[in-house]
Structure 1
Amino acid sequence: MSDNYRALTRTYRPTSFDDIVSQKHVSSTLKNAIKKNRLAHAYMFCGPRGVGKTTMARVLARTVNEIDQQVDGESLNQTLNVVEIDAASNNSVDDIRDLRERVRIPPQNGRYKIYIIDEVHMLSKSAFNALLKTLEEPPDHVIFIFATTEPHKVLPTILSRVQRFDFKRISVDQIVERLANVAADQNINIDEESLHVIAKKADGALRDALGLMDQAIAFCGNNIQHEELLRALNVVSTERMFDFMNAVASKNASQGLELINDLLQEGYDIQEYLVGLTEHLRNLYVAKSSAKMHLVEASPDTKKRYQKASKTFSEDDLMRMLHIVSEAQYKIKEAHQPKIQFEITLLKLIHMERTQNLNKLLSGLEDLKKKLNNKTEISKTNTEDTKSASSTSDNNQPSPEQQPKRTSQSKNGQSANPKEESITRQPEPPTPEPAAVNKEPNSKPSTSEPTNNSHQPANQVNKKTPKKTEEDSDDELSKLFGKSSLGNPKKNTESTVEKEETAADTATQTKAKRAPKDVSLEEVKEVWESYLEDLRHHVPEMLYFQMQRVKPMKLKNGLLLLRCNDDFAKKIVDENNRRLGKFLEDKIGAYLGFESIVQKDESDVEASKSPYERFKELQKRDPTIKHLVELFGAELDYNLNQ
C-alpha cells in the first residue's frame, strides 16, 4: 500500500449537508438557520457512533465561515477559526479555563470562531461548572458545537443552554446504497448479498461500514466473493442458518451437531453465532406476515427464502425458540464449558415439542374431561332415580299399627296365600284400599295385603323387576285388585309428593324470614362443615379449597368476620362474598355479609418453613436419616426457581 493511501472512512467523509446520509432533519434545520441568520450560540449533537455527528459539526463550520471546498475537513482544525477539542483527554478544569481565555480572541478571518468539543460527556463536573457562564453568554463571534454518544451523562445545566439534535441510526438499505456508490467509484465488484452482510455488521454506523468494506477489499481484492467475505469478517452465513433450521424442522439432532462442530472448527465465535441465530429467528417470525417484510433487513431473494421457511413453524414455536436462544446468550457468558452449553441450547431447539402436537394433546384431554363429566351426570341421574323410587316405596309401607296385625295373621295361617310371593314383586305401589279393610277387627285381609306385607327392600324389588310403563302398571293393578275405592293411586301419590314439596318450600320460606341479628356465631360454626361440603359441588375448586382454610371468627350486626391465611385467599373470598352468603342463607335461613381479614394461624408456621428447614428437623427427629446423610453425604435437591 502506498504512503498516499487514505482509508475509505477519510476519503468519503462528507463536505456538504447534502452528502450526509439519513440526517435530513438536522441538516435542513441548520441550512434554514444559516439562511435566516438565526444561528444559536451552542449546539449539541447526540447519537450512536459513526452516524455523522462530527462531520455535521465540520460542515456547519465550513458553511458558516464560507471555507473553500478544497480545504479538507480534517484540515479545518489547522485554521485559526475552527478549534476541535477532544474532551476525553482535555477534561480538567484547567483545560476549560484555557478555553475561556481563548474565547475572547475574535476570528482572524471569517465571521465566527467555532469550538467543536467531541465526547463532551467525558468532561468532569467541575469542568462543566467552569464552562457554564461562558456557554450561557459567549461573545457574539463564538459558536460551541458539542458531540456525544451519551447525552445522559451531560449535566442538565449544560443541556438547558444548548440546542440539541438527536442523530438516527442509518438503515441497512441506506448503507447498502452508499457502499454500492463507493464500490462503483473504486471499481470494486461486489454482489448485493455481500453488501447486506457488511451493512448489517456495521449496526447502523456508516463509518463502520466503510471500514469493513476497506477490510474486505484488502482481503479479497477488487473482486469480492460472498464466501471469502464471510471468512474475512468472521460472519456466519445466512445459508448455514437456514441449514440449521432445516435440521430443527426435521428434528435431526445428528445433522445439527455436525453443523455446530463445523462452525466451531472453523473458528466462529459462539456469541456471534447466537446473535446471528436470534436475528434469523426474528426474521422468520416477521416473515409469517408477508405485509411486514419491510422489517427484514435482507436482499429480495433472501426475503423470499424467509417467507418459505417460516411456513414450517408456528408463531408460538418461533417465540419459544427466541426465548431459548436469548437466555443462552447470558448463560454461556458464565458457563465453564461454553461449547457443551452451546450444544445443549441448540439440541433444545431440535427436540422441542411443537405447538401443534401440544394442541392435539390438550384437545384430547378436553374430550376426555367432557366424557367423564357426562358419565358423572348420568351416574347422578341414576342415583337420584334410585333415591326417588326408594322414597316412594318407603311411603307405601304399612303403618306400625297395621304391620303387627298382618304379622300375627301370617303366623296363624289365616293369610296364607300361594299368590303372595308373586304379588309382592310388583313394582307399583298398592292402593290404600287394604288399609281401610284392615281397620275392621274380624275382616279377612284382602288379596292386596301381601303387597303391603312384603318385607323385601325397595331396591331389591327394583333390581328383580324390569321397568314398565305407568299405563301397563295401572292395567296390571286393575286386573289383580280391581278398581280402587280411593281413586287412582298414581294421582294420590302425586298429591302426596306435592304436599311434601309445599311443606318443604314453606319451611324454607320460614327460614328465609329470619333476621340476620337472630343468628349466632355458634349456629354458623355448627353448620360450617356441611356448608363447606355443599360449596364443593356448586363453586369452582379454587374457591372451595380457599374456603377450607377460612374460619369464622366474629358475627356482629349481620356481618360475619372471616380469618384468612394470606392475601390471595382474602381476595378470592372478597370477590365471591355475595355468592358465598347466598349458599350460607340456605343453611341458616338468613343472609349474612362476609368480611375477611388476613391473620396467619399458628399451624401455618410449619407450612411456611423452607424445605431445607424441614429437612434439618427431619434429621433431628429420625436418627436413621441423619446417619444416612452423614454416611453418603446426601443433600436436599430443591430448585428455588420452581
Structure 2
Amino acid sequence: MENFVVSARKYRPTTFRSVVGQSSITTTLKNAIQRKQLAQAYLFCGPRGVGKTTCARIFAKTINCQNLTSELEACNECESCKSFNSNRSYNIHELDAASNNSVEDIRKLIEQVRIPPQIGKYSVYIIDEVHMLSQSAFNAFLKTLEEPPAHAIFIMATTEKHKILPTILSRCQIFDFNRIRVEDTVKYLEYIANTEGVEYEVEALNIIAQKADGAMRDALSIYDQVVSFSNNHITYQKVIENLNVLDYQYYFRLTENFLKGDFADSLQIFDELLSKGFDAQQFITGLSLHLRNVLVCHDPKTVPLLEVGAAIADKYKEMAKACSSSFLIEALEVTNQFDVAFRQSPNQRLHVELMLIKLCGLNQKKKSNEGQLEDEVEESDFTQPKSKATSVSNKTKPSAQTRKPPIKTTSIKKALNSTPSENPYQNSKTEEKVEEEIVPTSTRSKPLSAEEVLNAWESYAASIEKSKPAHFSLMQTYKPKLKDDNTIIVGFEGQIQIELFSEIKKDVITYFKKQLGTLNINITEEIVEAVEENGKPRLYTPDDKFRFMAERNPTLIRFKQQLNLDFE
C-alpha cells in the first residue's frame, strides 16, 4: 500500500512562483538575489501557516543554485539543488529554537558558522520559532549576528515578533507575512482538487478557507479531513456537517425574522442550534459577522470586503436591499453589547434570547415611530383654537403684520419627508419652533388640579392601548402626582420603566398642553421604592416579572405555553 502524504507536505511550494499570497515578499527576495544585495540576517514574522519557513527554504535553495533560470528560480539540476531536494545538503542548517533554546545550543551554532560551505556560496542557518530563545541565548547570539562570516546568512522565523529583543531586530531585515486571503486559498484548493481528481463545490472550499483563518497549512489539513469524510466528493452540506459550522441559511432566516418582528421563530431557531451542539457565543459572533456582511453590501465600494463565495454573495446583496443601513448599524451595536456581556451573564441562554427579542423589535419600533409621526402631523390642528381669549376687542388683537399665519399640514409633511439639505425644519432649534407653533396658546386662568392631570393621563393611555400595549400597561401601573401648578411627578420602580416612559414622554407633554390648555407643563420622573400594603419593601418573584413582561408583550404567554416553561 502506497504511503499517504498529507497535502500540506505534498503540495508545499518549492519555488517563489508557487508561494501563495505573499507576492510582495517573494518579489523583494528575488530582486535582492538578482542585484546580489543579500543581507546578513532576515526575520520572517507573521501568523502560523502562511509560508515563513517555506520561503526561508526556497530562498536558501535559490541563493546557492549554480544555474538560476531567467525567472530567478532554482534550476533543480545542479548539485546544490539536487542535494537540497534529497535532504542531504550541508549548506542549509535548520534549528528549532523551541527545543534548542539554551546558551549551549547557540554556542554550538556559533562554532558551526565558522565552517565554510563545501558546495555553493553560502551557509544558510534557518532558526524557527526564534522568540523561544532564552535571554542569555539571545545575548550570546548578538555578536555573531552583527558580524557573521561572509558566507553565513541567518533566516529567523517567528509568530511573536514582540518577544524578540530590539537589539536583534535592529540587525535584521524584517518581512511581515500577511494572512492569506480567502480567494487565494480557494484557488489553491481548487488546483489541488483538480490535480487529485476530487469533485468539489466552490462554496464548500470557501467554507474551508474561512475556517482556516488565513493559514494555508490549516486549510490543507482541513481539506484532507473533508476529502476523507466526503469520499472524494466535497459538498457544502458535508463540509458544514463535518466541521460543525453554522449554515448561512440560519442567519438569513433570522434576519428575515428581525425585519418582520417574529421573535418566536427566532427563539425556535436558536433552540435548534443549541440542540445541534453549537456554542451560544459562537452563534453571537457568527450573527455579528453576518450583519456586517449585509452592511458592506449596501455600498458597491465596500462589496470587495465580503469574503464569501459568489452564490452566497448574491444572497447578501439581495438581503441588503431589504435592510436599511440604520437598522443594521443598530443591530450590530446590540450584538456587540450582548457579546461583551455574555461571559458575565448567569443565564447565558436567556441572555442570547433577550438579544434576539431586542433585534426583532428594532425594525418594528422604527415603523411604529414613523407611523406615529405621520398620524400626529395629519391629525394635529395647526390653527389657533377658538376660545374666550380670542374674543377681545379689536384694540388687543395683533395686527396683520405681526399675526402668525396657520401652518398647513401638507407643508409640514413635505418638510419632514424632504432631504436634509431641503428640510427647513432640520435643525433642533427650528424643530422646537415648529412644535411650539402646533400647540395651542395657554387659555387657562386657574391652576391645574390633580384630578385634571389624572384624567388627561388616563385619556392618553386609552388612546394608545392598541398601538402601544407596553406603554399603555406602564401608564396603567404608575400614576402622576401634581407637585405644583406646572410640575407633574411620576414615580417609577426602576430605570427600565423610566427608559420605557421616555419613549412617549414628549407625546404625553404635547397631549397635556393641548388637553389642559396650557403651555407651562413639565413632567419629571423619579425612582421610588415599591412597597406592599403593610409598608414593607416589595420583593419581586419570577412570576411577578413574567406578568409584567407579558403585559408589555402578550405573545410571551403563548410562547410559555408552547415550550411548557415554568418559573421557580
TM-score class, shorter-chain normalisation, is: 0.5 to 0.7
Structure 2 residue 39 is the aligned partner of structure 1 residue 40: yes
Deviations 1:533-567 (A, max 9, x none): xxxxxxx99xxxxxxxxxxxxxxxxxxxxxxxxxx
Letter in 1 for 2:38: L
User: In structure 1, what is the equivalent of residue 144 of structure 2?
Assistant: 134
Distance 1:105 1:248, change over 3 A: same
Distance (whole Å) between structure 1 residues aligned to residue 390 and residue 102 of structure 2: 93
Partner of 2:113: 103
- Residue in structure 1 matching 2:327, options 309, 313, 317: 317
Separation (CA, whole Å) in 2 of partners of 1:72 and 1:255: 64
Q: Does 2:35 correspond to 1:7? A: no
The question of whether the paired residues in 1 share the 8 Å contact of 2:259 and 2:363 is answered with no
One-letter amino acid of the structure 2 residue matched with residue 141 of structure 1: H
SS of the residue 2:153 aligns to: strand
| Offset, 1:38 | 1.0
Distance 2:311 2:284 in 1: 23
Q: How far does residue 230 in structure 1 lie from its aligned partner after superposition? A: 0.7
Name the structure 1 match of 2:101.
91
1:395-434 counterparts in 2 under 5 A? none
Kindly provide the CA deviation profile for residues 422-445 of structure 1, in whole angstroms up to 9, marking residues without a partner as x: xxxxxxxxxxxxxxxxxxxxxxxx
| 2:169 paired residue number | 159
TM-superposed deviation, 1:192? 1.0
Report the AA paired with residue 137 of structure 2.
Answer: A
Change (3 A) 1:375 1:114: farther
Give the C-alpha shift of residue 319 in structure 1: 1.0
Q: How does 1:26-425 map to 2 (within 5 A)?
A: 26-66=25-65, 69=76, 79-354=89-364, 356-357=366-367, 360=370, 363=373, 389=396
- Any idea what SS the aligned residue of 2:341 has? helix
The alignment yields a C-alpha RMSD, in angstroms, of: 3.5
| Offset, 1:386 | 7.4
1:293-349 Cα offsets, whole Å, 9 max, x none, are 222122222222111112222111111111222233332234343333222222221
Cα deviations by residue, 1:357-386 (Å, 9 ceiling, x for unpaired): 2652684699599978x869x99x969x87
**The residue matched to 1:79 in structure 2 has which SS?**
coil
Q: Distance in 1 between matches of 2:390 and 2:28?
A: 85
For the structure 1 residues 113 and 131, does the alpha-carbon distance in structure 2 shift closer, same or farther, using more than 3 Å as the test?
A: same
- Paired with 1:198 and 1:336, the residues of 2 have a C-alpha distance of 34
CA displacement, residues 112-171 of structure 1 (integer Å, 9 cap, x when unaligned): 111111122222333222211111111111101111222222222111111111112211
Q: 8 Å contact 1:317–1:354 — kept in the other structure?
A: no
Once residues 34 and 337 of structure 1 are traced to their aligned partners in structure 2, the CA distance between those partners, rounded to angstroms, is: 61
Q: Distance in 2 between matches of 1:360 and 1:73?
A: 76
- 8 A Cα contact 1:76 1:82, kept in partner: no
Shift of 1:633: 8.5
Distance 2:83 2:222 in 1: 22
Secondary structure, in 3 states, of the residue corresponding to 2:125? Answer: strand
| Residue pair 1:46, 1:165 contacting (<8 A) in 2 also | yes
Q: d(CA) in 2 for partners of 1:238 and 1:261?
A: 16
1:333/1:69 Cα in 2 relative to 1: closer, same or farther (>3 Å)? Answer: farther
* TM-score, reference length from structure 1: 0.56
Name the SS for the 2:174 alignment partner: strand
On the 8 A contact 2:260/2:364 being kept in 1, the answer is no
Write the distance in 1 (CA, Å) between the matches of 2:37 and 2:307. Answer: 40
Q: Counterparts of 1:334 and 1:198 in 2: how far apart (Å)? A: 32
How far apart, in 1, do the equivalents of 2:83 and 2:308 lie? 34
Instruction: State the shift of 1:196 in Å.
Output: 1.0
1 CA distance for matches of 2:168 and 2:371?
62
1:165 is paired with a residue whose SS is strand
Deviating more after overlay: 70-79 vs 132-141: 70-79
For residues 109 and 72 of structure 1, do their structure 2 counterparts lie closer, same or farther at Cα, with a shift above 3 Å needed?
Answer: closer
- Please name the residue that 1:640 is paired with: none
For 2:412, the equivalent position in structure 1 comes to none
One-letter code of the match for 1:13? Answer: R
Distance 2:379 2:174 in 1: 64
Q: Distance in 2 between matches of 1:119 and 1:73?
A: 25
Distance across 2 between alignment mates of 1:224 and 1:178: 15
Asked if the contact 1:317–1:355 (Cα under 8 Å) also holds between the matched residues in 2, the reply is no
Q: Specify the alignment match of 1:596 in structure 2.
A: none
User: Partners of 1:250 and 1:72 in 2: how far apart?
Assistant: 67
Q: Which amino acid aligns with 2:324?
A: S
Structure 1 residue matching 2:43: 3-state secondary structure: strand
Q: Which stretch of structure 1 is more off in the superposition, 303-312 or 54-63?
A: 303-312
Structure 1: distance between partners of 2:384 and 2:49: 71
1:515 is matched with none
For the pair shown, which has the larger CA radius of gyration, 1 or 2? Answer: 1
Which structure 2 residues correspond to residues 554-593 of structure 1 after superposition, within 5 A? none
CA distance in 1, matches of 2:221, 2:306: 24
Distance 1:328 1:154, change over 3 A: same
Greater helix content? 1
Task: Determine helix, strand or coil for the equivalent of 2:352.
Answer: helix
- Is the Cα contact below 8 Å between 1:287 and 1:310 reproduced in 2? yes
Q: Which moved more, 1:339-348 or 1:57-66?
A: 339-348
C-alpha contact (below 8 Å) 2:259/2:364 kept by paired residues: no
- For residues 259 and 50 of structure 1, the distance between their equivalents in structure 2, rounded to whole angstroms, comes to 36
> The residue matched to 1:277 in structure 2 has which SS?
helix
SS in 1 for 2:120: coil
Decide whether aligned partners of structure 1 residues 322 and 59 sit closer, same or farther in structure 2, where only a CA change above 3 A counts. same
Q: Scaled by the length of structure 2, what TM-score is found?
A: 0.63
Are 1:188 and 1:223, in contact at CA under 8 Å, matched by a contact in 2? yes
Structure 1 position 83, deviation (Å): 1.5
Render the CA deviation track for 1:569-588: whole Å, top value 9, x for unaligned: xxxxxxxxxxxxxxxxxxxx
Contact 1:58–1:73 at 8 Å: present in 2 too? no
Q: 1:216 Cα deviation (Å)? A: 0.4
Letter in 2 for 1:9: A
Q: Distance in 2 between matches of 1:92 and 1:192?
A: 48
Q: Report the secondary structure of 1:333's partner residue.
A: coil
Offset, 1:292 = 3.1
Residues 1:125 and 1:367: Cα distance change in structure 2 (over 3 Å): farther
CA–CA distance in structure 2, aligned partners of residues 337 and 65 of structure 1: 63
How far apart, CA to CA, are the structure 1 residues paired with 2:13 and 2:163?
A: 28
Q: Residue in 2 aligned with 1:21?
A: 20
CA distance in 2, matches of 1:57, 1:360: 62
Residues 1:370 and 1:110: Cα distance change in structure 2 (over 3 Å): farther
Unaligned runs of 5+ in 2: 66-73, 400-431, 434-493, 495-530, 541-568
Tell me the CA shift for residue 180 of structure 1. Answer: 0.5
How many Å separate the matches in 1 of 2:6 and 2:304? 33
C-alpha contact 2:261 2:364 (8 A) present in aligned 1: no
